Amino acid sequence: MRLFLPLVSAAAVALPTFALLDENQSPFCNDGGTISVPCQGATTTVTLSTDAYDPDGDPLTYQWLACPGAFLTDPTSPTTDLILDTYDSCNVNCGVRLRLTDPFGAHYVCRLYVAVTPGVEGCTPGFWKNHAQAWHDSGFLPIDDFDVVFGVDAFSPNRTLMQALWSGGGGINKLARHGTAALLNAADVDVHFALSQGEVIDLVHDAIVNKQYEPLATQLDLLNNGGCPQSSTNY
């Protein structure tokens, strides 16, 4: 026996319908390359910001991650300050990552590098001894003991940092005045000096202990004459 099935037209078949949803797109930001900044004393601060955007217009979550030893003032904000330790050296390189995440979990990571470099500025002993009020950014006081600061036994009776700046002549006196000026230059956030605070202390300490005041005294003399960004009219 033959079985005949009724023909059903395609138009009569009810097919389920589905709403077409746009696919979520990941956020994006450009890599920042390398940012070079001059040394700013015991710490160096760099403001970081991003050009991040989301193609769908979704709000984003930010997470900055920096190299070990660095501090981020607000790691979950689009703009944050990166604070680097430059006490021991003015040659610091730090890698930074920014992770962007949208509400659906899509994420993107962009990178940049911050390179701290030695500066070329320097204020002379004459500036520092005549503008004691300019010391406030350095963290040192005119009455601080030279021997204590540099960890030496150079003078008897002991001299203050201010007295060291007024020391005339060559030898240890020259090193004392230029070593003190170099220390203030290195410690002042507004003076982009060639050496870090720790480097100045170590160099002067070793030169005095070994009684080899030159060539360091002359080298510091040159650096201290690099050009003073501090204006005497401000004091």
CATH number, position 43: 2.60.40.10
Residues 216 and 139 in one domain: yes
Residues 204 and 188 in one domain: yes
- Last-in-domain residue among 84, 117, 150: 117
Residues 58 and 143 in one domain: no
CA-based nearest residue to 94, from 102, 103, 86: 86
**How many whole angstroms separate alpha carbon 195 and alpha carbon 204?**
12
Residues 86 and 176 in one domain: no
SS3 assignment, position 233? helix
pLDDT (0 to 100) of residue 234: 56
pLDDT (0 to 100) of residue 230: 77
**Within-domain flag for 150:** yes
Pairing verdict, β 92-101 and 33-38: unpaired
Residues 213 and 134 in one domain: yes
**Within-domain flag for 235:** no
**Within-domain flag for 100:** yes
Host domain of residue 198: 125-227
**Within-domain flag for 5:** no
Residues 109 and 155 in one domain: no
CA-based nearest residue to 201, from 119, 138, 156, 135: 138
| 197-225 exposure pattern, b = at least 16 Cβ within 10 A, e = fewer | bbbbbebbbebbeeeebeebbeebbebbe
Residues 112 and 190 in one domain: no
Residues 108 and 135 in one domain: no
Domain count, the chain: 2
CA-based nearest residue to 123, from 214, 191, 40: 191
DSSP state of 189: T
DSSP state of 173: H
Residues 106 and 45 in one domain: yes
**Within-domain flag for 2:** no
pLDDT (0 to 100) of residue 21: 53
Residues 149 and 108 in one domain: no
**Within-domain flag for 22:** no
pLDDT digit string (tens) for the chain, length 235 residues: 333 334 334 444 454 544 445 699 999 999 999 999 999 999 999 999 999 999 999 999 999 999 999 999 999 999 999 999 999 999 999 999 999 999 999 999 999 999 999 999 999 999 999 999 999 989 999 999 999 999 999 999 999 999 999 999 999 999 999 999 999 999 999 999 999 999 999 999 999 999 999 999 999 999 999 999 976 545 5
Residues 107 and 191 in one domain: no
pLDDT (0 to 100) of residue 1: 35
User: What residue type is 151 in one-letter code?
Assistant: G
Angle at 202 between CA 200 and CA 207, to 5 degrees: 95
- Last-in-domain residue among 117, 151, 167: 117
**Within-domain flag for 232:** no
**Within-domain flag for 85:** yes
Helix (H) or strand (E) holding 174, with range, is helix 171-187
Pairing verdict, β 33-38 and 107-117: parallel
Residues 137 and 182 in one domain: yes
- Does the reported pTM lie above 0.85? no
For residues 176 and 162, the answer to whether their CB atoms sit within 8 Å is no
In the chain, % helix, strand, coil (3-state, to 5) comes to 30, 25, 50
**How many whole angstroms separate alpha carbon 101 and alpha carbon 96?**
17
**How many whole angstroms separate alpha carbon 230 and alpha carbon 226?**
12
**How many whole angstroms separate alpha carbon 167 and alpha carbon 131?**
16
- Last-in-domain residue among 69, 89, 117: 117
**How many whole angstroms separate alpha carbon 46 and alpha carbon 92?**
13
